[in-house]
Amino acid sequence: MKKLYRSRRDSMIAGVAGGIGEHLQVDPTLIRLVFAGFTLVSCGAGILFYILAVIIIPLEDID
């Protein structure tokens, strides 16, 4: 089973969207749009979720 990591290669801020995109095998841009939409719809809860994801999801190992 593939583990979830924050991406070092596809990182704009902290690599959360890149890591989730790699894990789910979807374009990280879609994940970023989901974060942005969730932030707009839920009065900023997307930002809180992103910060929690940065804290919880480990950074990808250097190969």
pLDDT at 40: 94
Residue 50 lies in a domain: yes
Residue 26 lies in a domain: yes
Residue 25 lies in a domain: yes
Do 6 and 15 contact (CB within 8 A), yes or no?
yes
Question: Quick one: average pLDDT of 3-12?
Answer: 91
Residue 49 lies in a domain: yes
- pLDDT band for 5, please (50, 70, 90 cuts): very high
Number of domains within the chain = 1
pTM: 0.86
Which residues form the domain of 34?
Answer: 16-56
- Whether the CA torsion 18, 22, 28, 30 is positive or negative: it is negative
